[in-house]
Structure 1
């Protein structure tokens, strides 16, 4: 998988890009967990999400937020990281101008950033939020949530407790015109030390279903 460097708001951003052989393949970006707690694009959940989208035929990009790895800049409390994500999506769209769909996926802090990006970019057709930290961050900006998506978490997650994620999913489900799918992996902690395969297969199954629905329209 080629290493790439692309321009961000505070300098270069470091990423990994996997291109689909199909010119009109859908695209996806994958966002990593909190930079100040060891989060990088090589986190195993992010890595597995990246390859899940690649197996489904997507052109997919994951990258390091500012100040992580070879990405320039400093941590910016989520504000700058959202700008980084927007720049990553711009870059991916430049690489894939004929893409027939766009998804955003994020893990933990990356899920929070991904949901904010979703609100700002109407071309995003769907989202995957893995262990969104609904206990730590305000998700009330999702009013209304503009796209259907998948939320996945473990029932043994002590960092982003299941009860808070259930409340978030229930709130989003009250909105008309979208469908929120929520899957709980039994026995999984925040990092899916157990249940990684189930998490990945859930994501793949959900995205396959969405792609079939799109093809039938």
Structure 2
């Protein structure tokens, strides 16, 4: 059985998730840990639960979801994996710091790791994630879906009652609507773990989210 621990990080209250199962292997999704207390909380949780991180996954290439990549690399030797379609964003995270956030990075970010293979699942422990292309917030946005546990990590594509912005470079309202239609085909009870805000379900979003339909 999968267990999920959420950490609300940085000035934009981004959700980082540590996902693990009975084998103690875990994956870290969207490590946006900017503040020292964010970083300590994640590393301490992993240590206190005797977890073994095996993958660092990014739903997309915006800096608020990748602030903590250096911490994960230093602690566990893992580099972030993202869609190749977000390679420009992932390779220029330092520029995002000054151009989008108006700040200087307080830690060095490692180079990007492997690109996600959209044809192969992300495996860890006794579980796996399907990688679903869900562009619109960025050109390379993806959703990680565990069919067995019926949960999905949607990054900034789908929030409770809303969706991610499409006015950043590479964003597209046309694409994100297509991505939402794709996600709407998941079972109604699918648990949605978004990049910001509280957990929701596909069924709730189909009933309450004005951007969602079948």
Q: Same fold (TM over 0.5)?
A: no
Judging by fraction of residues, say which structure has more helix: 1
Sort the TM-score into its range (normalised by shorter chain).
0.3 to 0.5
TM-score normalised by L of structure 1: 0.33
TM-score normalised by L of structure 2: 0.34
